[in-house]
Amino acid sequence: MAVDINQIQEKIHVIIYAYPGEKRYILAMMQDLQKICNYLPREGLELIAEHTGVAFSEIYSLATFYKAFSLVPRGKYNIKVCDGTACHIKGSAVIIDQVFNSLGIKPGETTEDGLFSLETVNCLGACAIAPVLMVNEKIYPKVSSSGLLDIIKAYGGHVHEDGKS
């Protein structure tokens, strides 16, 4: 869901200033920020730069380097479709297409209601049960087209019979 930055501005300040203004705490600040906001708001990164004295460009490139961080708001339910070799062979591209058909989102996007976001990852370390996807921390093995629709429905997604939400 979209985060109102004004509502959490003070919280962001508290999160960041809970740490000493030293470079070695930057990742911890980002982790806390990601946990609370579900993404890294630009205002938060600017405050980290201000607090630690590290250039904003450096903070920004750190934030983009780690896949765990998102610079845009993620949905309440973050769908990670594995597109590593084993999952790709087993049809992950079809799953990614079907998420688009069902929810209208491509990797890196979030549904307008803020419920779902989609990202692709390289390998979830579960190749034996490919194709695999995760919703937040829950892993789903051997996902089929119909299985995907059931998963989306289980999280409150409205999927019509033709696969469109």
- Alpha-carbon torsion, ordered 96, 92, 73, 155, to 10 deg: 80
Choice from 15, 130, 143, 148 touching ligand FES (CB under 6 A): 130
Name the residue nearer to ligand FES (CB basis): 53 or 125. 125
Site mask for ligand FES (CB under 6 A), range 80-119, x = bound: --x-xxxx--------------------------------
Where do we find the tokens 């190749």? Answer: 127
- By CB under 6 A, tell whether 79 contacts ligand FES: no
Contacts of 5 (CB under 8 A, 6+ apart): 41, 43
How far apart, in whole angstroms, are the C-alpha atoms of residue 48 and residue 101?
39
The 9-48 contact track toward ligand FES, x by CB under 6 A, reads: ----------------------------------------
CB-nearer residue toward ligand FES: 91 or 114: 91
Strand 116-121 relative to strand 77-82, pairing: parallel
